[in-house]
Amino acid sequence: MHHHNHYYGQTHILARWCGLDDEFPPRIRGYLQHGWNVGCGWNPVHEFFDGAWRYVWSDANRRRGHSLGRRNYHVVGAPWLYLKELEPDLGRVPDEQRTGTLWFLFHGWEGGGLGGKIDGDHARLISEIKETETEPVTVSLYYTEYERPEIRRAYQDAGFQVICFGRRGWNYEGTDRRFLHKQLEAMRKYKRVAANRLCTAIFYGVSAGCRPAVYGDPMALEGDNPLFGGQARITRLWPDMLGKDIDPATARQITDDELGVPWLLPPAELRMLLDWNPRD
């Protein structure tokens, strides 16, 4: 089982959906997409072992994978969708009580010597956020930025509340299996979700009932692989998801497609696809 499958506790969520042990979930004998992706579900140079199944969120990922000559895809929908079904009331408040903006800074990764740090004009971004948002702003930093004092303090000193949902895990260590639970609980309380790049959190926020916005300096990521087209591809393929005032109905339709709402599977079928049924 690839350690990416454990990111954000996603395998744990699927195990719970299937009625299995979600503290020590069974192995997935393949690869589970762990975040929204402009390609086939993974980074351009991800290595796959021969014959492995690739479990993706949406049919668009499958089609793009097929165009690259890859096979063995199953479309299963995002684990986030299963969590929403499992936790229909977690953090939920009446719509009229929603307030503020949950703002996600594009984040780096645990790349060590391979790269993974972001670089951009934080002062300019802070100024634009203040000019745009009309209600209190909470800035969510992934721990790779939260633990860089110069970044965390810049947003705190600007008067924003700064939070961190935890760690997604790396090489099976440090996985916060409540990561997505905490995001869902928070998102159901905010009126808006925003970020400086179109990213997984924007789709999660729309799915949780937030109005989306994507604006500001998109930052640069050290070691970023441009093979899938980067920001230019996002601008070309998802223009309706960019801007400070995105149409909610359009955003919801696109979100449902990208997260794979039509592909949400019942427990018995998901157990079969993940090879989680007991063997006699």
**Would you tell me how many other CB atoms lie within 10 Å of the CB of residue 199?**
19
- Per-residue tokens: 51: 């014959």
Residue 181 φ then ψ, to 5°: -60, -45
- All CATH 3.40.50.720 domain ranges of the chain, comma separated, are 95-247
**Would you tell me how many other CB atoms lie within 10 Å of the CB of residue 95?**
9
> Would you write out the chain's pLDDT as a tens digit for each of its 280 residues?
677 888 999 999 999 999 999 999 999 989 999 999 888 888 766 677 777 899 999 999 999 989 988 889 999 999 999 999 999 999 999 999 999 999 999 987 665 444 467 788 999 999 999 999 999 999 999 998 999 999 999 999 999 999 999 998 877 778 899 999 999 999 999 999 999 999 999 999 999 999 999 999 988 776 666 766 778 889 999 999 999 999 999 999 999 999 999 999 999 999 999 999 987 6
In angstroms, the first-to-last Cα distance of the chain is: 22
Please report, as a single letter, which amino acid is at residue 10: Q
- Per-residue tokens: 6: 């454990």
Interstrand relation of 192-195 and 101-104 (parallel, antiparallel or unpaired): parallel
**Would you tell me how many other CB atoms lie within 10 Å of the CB of residue 204?**
24
Which strand (E) or helix (H) includes residue 103?
strand 101-104
What is the reported pTM? Answer: 0.94
* Alpha carbon distance 123, 182 (integer Å): 28
Query: Which one is the CATH code of 95-247: 3.30.70.3270, 3.40.50.300, 3.40.50.720, 3.40.190.10?
Result: 3.40.50.720
